[in-house]
Chains A and B, each alone.
Chain A
Amino acid sequence: MRNIIYYLFLFVVLLLLQVLILNNIHLGGLATPFLYIWLLLKLPAETPRGLIITIGFFFGLIIDMFCNTPGMHALASTFIGFMRDPLLFLFVSNEEMKTGTPSIRTMGLGAFSRYLIVFVFLYCFALYLIEAFSFFDFPTLLLKIISSTILTLLLMFGIESLKPSYK
Chain B
Amino acid sequence: MRNLIQFFVRNSPFFVFLLYGLISLFLLIRFNSYHQSVFFSSANSAIAEVYSVAGNVTSYFGLKQINQDLLERNGYLEKEILVLKEQLRDQRSGDLMNDSITKYDFIVAQVINNSVTQLKNYITLNKGSKEGVKVGMGVADQNGIIGIVSVVSEHYSVVISVLNTKLRISAKVKGSDYFGSLVWDGHSSLYATLEELPRHVEFAKGDTIVTSGYSAAFPEGLPVGVIEGYSKQSNDNFYALKIALSADFNRLNDVRVIINKEQEEQLALEKAAAN
User: A interface vs B, CB < 8 Å?
Assistant: 16, 19-20, 23-26, 29, 32, 49-50, 53-54, 56-57, 60-61, 64-72, 74-75, 78-79, 81-82, 85, 130-135, 137, 140
Contacts and interface: CB of A to CB of B under 8 A. Distances in A.
Contacts of B51: 66
Given A24-B115, A54-B16, A70-B32, A75 B40 contact: no
B128 to A, nearest CB: 15
A36 to B, nearest CB: 15
Majority-rule SS of B interface residues:
mixed
Contact of A75 (B25, B50, B116, B119): B25
Contacts of B274: none
Interface stretch (B41-49, B84-92, B257-265): B41-49
B66 to A, nearest CB: 17
Contacts of A135: 119, 165, 186
A70 B37 CA distance: 9
A53 B20 contact: yes
Nearest to B188: A29
Contacts of B187: 29, 140
A60 B24 contact: yes
A131 B117 contact: no
Contact of B13 (A19, A20, A23, A49): A49
Q: When A and B form their complex, which 7 residue pairs have the shortest distance between CB atoms, in order from nearest?
A: A71-B28, A71-B27, A75-B24, A49-B13, A57-B20, A82-B17, A26-B117
B24 A50 contact: no
A27 to B, nearest CB: 10
A137 B186 contact: yes
A24 B117 contact: yes
Contacts of B17: 53, 78-79, 81-82
A44 to B, nearest CB: 16
A86 to B, nearest CB: 10
A71 to B, nearest CB: 3
Contacts of A78: 17, 20-21, 24
Contacts of B47: 65-66
A75 B115 contact: no
A74 to B, nearest CB: 4
A140 B187 CA distance: 9
A71 B32 contact: yes
Given A23-B117, A68-B120, A131-B119, 7 more contacts: A25-B117, A67-B42, A68-B124, A78-B21, A130-B28, A132-B119, A133-B32
Interface in B76-128: 113, 115-120, 122, 124
B31 interface: yes
